[in-house]
Structure 1
Amino acid sequence: MEDVAVRRADADTGRPVVPEPTGLRRLRIIVVLGALIALGPLTIDMYLPALPSIGSDLAAPEATVQLTLTGTLVGLGLGQLFIGPFSDVVGRRLPLILGTGLHVLASLACLVAPSIAVLGALRVVQGVGAAAAMVVALAVVGDLFTGRAAATALSRLFLVMGIAPILAPTLGGAVLLSSSWRGVFGVLAGLGVVLLAVAVLALPESLPAERRQPAHFRPVLRTYGKLLSDGPFVLLLVVAALAMSALFSYVSGSSFVLQEQFGLDQQSFALVFGAGAVSLIGASQLNVVLLKRFTPLRIVITALVAATAAAGLLTALAVTGTGGLLGFLLPLWAVLGSMGFVMPNAPALALNRHGEAAGTASALLGACQFGLGALIAPLVGVLGNDGPAMAIIMTAGAAVALVALGAVLRLGNRTVAAA
């Protein structure tokens, strides 16, 4: 018999007592969720080494090519707003299967896109498909875990998911050695098929019928209204979204900064990009250890202070051109590492407040994160697609996130303060 720990009913939400997965069952669920949630990062990152060649092939300027990344992030954000509530009504499996199938079809269409405009539109659809995997994975965590257990589960999830941004540019670079940028989308279609099989065969339903929301439009609006009227929840969404903005500024600008400003080739870029992902993932796993001694809130506060300081140093070095490539990478990796502590804990704090609507709450969280990312991606290009542009955006994101977290503390909310 599988070992389970009984979870108490939430005093605020009245959620029923349900068994919380432990042992091998917990490990299996996290591995499956990590594989599914990796579809988003793979979709975002795998074609990064090909951005300059896409521009050349389709006769598009750099800023326009970056809009294809923006399209993906828009799809990821908007898709979650619909898929999250849908999963609260029908359960988690059906939206996941339909969304992943849509991703496969969009990837095949990208393979033959005739222009940058068509490619950008298809990337929006591709993002909507990937959104299903991401929002359902977070919702399943909300269904099965609470409090520190949720933060720990998300940290483990980031470990599995983190393999994707490390491997994606490297895999994309390898595809480019024997194919054009179009081959990258063929590989993405194949990966989507594999993950669709995982969704069908390996993920059990985590939302029983008695906990599902009514299949009506007005209750969905009421649920969104309830979430948006919760000040601490909204501020925690802002913190989580701004933490992701640092990552998206890195994703959006890194291929141009590292390849064009610092002269790295596609393979060297993939290795350096992967090193940044290692910093992010390593921090998320150290977070599991720290959660045994510190609350998620305490960790987020400390990490945001460190991120703001490191981003400020990065900006100073980038603007003055001090330190060359190493002077740029070391503080950059420090910022990414700091965000590795924020990214599991801020969502866990937010989702813990509304476990009764985990799908909708996860959707709103994802929409905020990727919606802001959609704004950040072209902003790096508008500001110059160079090191200073990336650094300034990272600094602003970390500083504003710290201010937002301070506002949460000033509200004196017991649920957040005790977390």
Structure 2
Amino acid sequence: MHRAPPACRVFYTVNENPRSPMRNRTWILLLIVMAPQMGLSLVNPANSTIAADLGAPLGRVEATLTAYMAGYALSMFASGTLADRFDARRLQSLGLALFALGGLLAAVAPSVAALGAGRFLQALGGTSATVLCRIIVQRHYPASARVGVLASMSMVISLTPALSPLAGGVLSQFAPWRALFLLTAAFALALIPAIELALRPAPPERPALPSPGEVGRALAQALRDRGFRRYACCICLVWMTYFGFIQSSSTLLQHHLGQSALAYGALMAVPALGYLAGSVMVKRAASVGAAVARAVRLGAAGLAATVGAAYLMPPPLALVLCLALAFVGVGAVIPYAQAGLLGLDVEYAGLTAGFFFFLQMASGALYSALLGALHPGTATALLWAVVLPQGVLTAAFALSRLRGPGV
């Protein structure tokens, strides 16, 4: 791996003024990127209750997260492509409206299949924030400010899964699981007026939908670019581990380790805080490359501790502390890879960004589907499967360091 490209490369920048009013409205972008993470994790503490209520195995309810991630992947590609033609701000409002509709459908779902369809629709709309908010950053923020904004977004993305399961666990003690889906819908609907009134339009410089031939050339250009392949591999591998854990967490913590919904929510906050710590390291670092290197080393120690815990089976809190240390590496690698993507000189920035995040989310969906198909029968086997992708990246990082300095 190599150092992220210089931050001076700028492409879709509508406003280059470092004192741009947009810099005072970053909080809106941070609220927007919370929505897909709430949809992913708020309801998880109630998975066992949902399974009992709908008369389905816990594994089938967990599989609705794979449906969510499949919608996430498709949303990445579609939103990135549409952003090359239309205003990213308006697309974001429409995406949140679709997210709210999916939440309403999930709230009234009579079966696991209907629940999965609602969650798929949620993801198809709301998760467009992953691409569109970053495109808004690219079009409105000076290059020197982007890494900080992206790191702040990554911190919120990591903090939301830390707090959402805890909030969901508390709410599930006195509210039905269907009310949790209604809460996600209400949150998304409340954001739409804020987006339309407080954010400036973010149109592309040269509005045009790419033709099929241009799409093919853009994807081929991305795949030929060594930097794109490097950043895509980094983000896919760490996401496979992080989402693999989220998707299988009910089985691990509730089924294998016997934790209640409230305890599950509290325990899930711990690994997410490790992710947050990695993002903070990158945000505050004078040298991004050095910060990522330190975070990956800490993550390697966490991976080793998690593997040891897989055999010793310490108390659940000790286990999630090991995972938290491992996820320091995840939290640092993700904003590093995203910032590297924004520095690539490509013809269709929106399409390329959509393809990049499509690969990230598709890798998470496919890996979680593989875990579901293999159905590791023990907590030890499940933990091994979860940490394997990040272990591959850590090994590649160590090999690159042996060959020469730099991330």
Residues 313 and 331, structure 1, Cα contact 8 Å, conserved in 2: yes
- Aligned partner of 1:249 in structure 2 is 244
Gaps of 5+ in 2: 1-5
User: 1:89 & 1:391 partners in 2: Cα distance?
Assistant: 43
Residues 252 and 380, structure 1, Cα contact 8 Å, conserved in 2: no
Q: Does 1:62 align with 2:58?
A: yes
- Aligned partner of 1:105 in structure 2 is 101
Residues 318 and 391, structure 1, Cα contact 8 Å, conserved in 2: yes
| Partner-residue secondary structure (3-state), 1:90 | coil
Q: CA deviation at 1:410?
A: 11
One of 154, 161, 164 as aligned partner of 2:157: 161
Residues 279 and 334, structure 1, Cα contact 8 Å, conserved in 2: yes
- Aligned partner of 1:269 in structure 2 is 264
Q: Does 1:353 align with 2:344?
A: yes
Residues 107 and 182, structure 2, Cα contact 8 Å, conserved in 1: yes
Q: CA deviation at 1:226?
A: 1.4
- Aligned partner of 1:198 in structure 2 is 194
- Aligned partner of 1:3 in structure 2 is none
User: 2:58 & 2:342 partners in 1: Cα distance?
Assistant: 37
Matches within 5 A, 1:129-168: 129-145=125-141, 149-168=145-164
The 3 A distance-change label for structure 1 pair 227 and 101 is same
Matches within 5 A, 1:267-416: 267-290=262-285, 292=286, 294=287, 296-321=288-313, 323-354=314-345, 357-381=348-372, 382-384=374-376, 387-402=379-394
Q: Does 1:94 align with 2:85?
A: no
Residues 143 and 355, structure 1, Cα contact 8 Å, conserved in 2: no
Q: CA deviation at 1:190?
A: 0.6
Q: Deviations over 1:371-412 (max 9, x none)?
A: 111123344444437542443134321122235557988999
Gaps of 5+ in 1: 1-6
User: 1:409 & 1:350 partners in 2: Cα distance?
Assistant: 21
Q: Deviations over 1:196-223 (max 9, x none)?
A: 2222222212334x34345534323322
Letter in 2 for 1:174: V
> So what's the TM-score if we normalise by structure 1?
0.86
| Partner-residue secondary structure (3-state), 1:89 | coil
Of the structure 1 ranges 100-109 and 90-99, higher mean CA displacement relative to structure 2 is found in 90-99
The 3 A distance-change label for structure 1 pair 354 and 385 is farther
Q: CA deviation at 1:86?
A: 0.5
User: 2:221 & 2:377 partners in 1: Cα distance?
Assistant: 39
The 3 A distance-change label for structure 1 pair 81 and 258 is same
What is the aligned-residue identity percentage? 24
The 3 A distance-change label for structure 1 pair 232 and 367 is same
One of 229, 238, 260 as aligned partner of 1:234: 229
Residues 13 and 139, structure 2, Cα contact 8 Å, conserved in 1: no
- Aligned partner of 1:4 in structure 2 is none
Q: CA deviation at 1:155?
A: 0.9
The 3 A distance-change label for structure 1 pair 142 and 403 is farther
User: 1:411 & 1:140 partners in 2: Cα distance?
Assistant: 37
User: 2:268 & 2:8 partners in 1: Cα distance?
Assistant: 43
Residues 55 and 62, structure 1, Cα contact 8 Å, conserved in 2: yes
Residues 87 and 95, structure 1, Cα contact 8 Å, conserved in 2: yes
Q: Deviations over 1:11-53 (max 9, x none)?
A: xxx8487644535735434321111111111110011001111
> So what's the TM-score if we normalise by structure 2?
0.88
The 3 A distance-change label for structure 1 pair 108 and 214 is closer
The 3 A distance-change label for structure 1 pair 303 and 261 is same
The 3 A distance-change label for structure 1 pair 167 and 27 is farther
User: 1:281 & 1:190 partners in 2: Cα distance?
Assistant: 26
Residues 299 and 326, structure 2, Cα contact 8 Å, conserved in 1: yes
How many residues end up aligned between the 2 structures?
A: 401
One of 213, 235, 239 as aligned partner of 1:218: 213
User: 2:151 & 2:389 partners in 1: Cα distance?
Assistant: 22
Of the structure 1 ranges 245-254 and 323-332, higher mean CA displacement relative to structure 2 is found in 323-332
Letter in 2 for 1:105: L
User: 1:233 & 1:405 partners in 2: Cα distance?
Assistant: 16
Of the structure 1 ranges 143-152 and 359-368, higher mean CA displacement relative to structure 2 is found in 143-152
Letter in 1 for 2:38: L
Q: CA deviation at 1:339?
A: 1.4
User: 1:23 & 1:172 partners in 2: Cα distance?
Assistant: 39
User: 1:326 & 1:173 partners in 2: Cα distance?
Assistant: 16
- Aligned partner of 2:3 in structure 1 is none
Residues 147 and 349, structure 1, Cα contact 8 Å, conserved in 2: no
* RMSD, matched Cα: 2.9
Q: Deviations over 1:43-83 (max 9, x none)?
A: 10011001111111112222211110000000001111111
Q: CA deviation at 1:276?
A: 2.2
The 3 A distance-change label for structure 1 pair 17 and 141 is closer
User: 1:313 & 1:411 partners in 2: Cα distance?
Assistant: 26
Residues 165 and 274, structure 1, Cα contact 8 Å, conserved in 2: yes
Q: Does 1:41 align with 2:37?
A: yes
The 3 A distance-change label for structure 1 pair 8 and 283 is closer
The 3 A distance-change label for structure 1 pair 256 and 219 is same
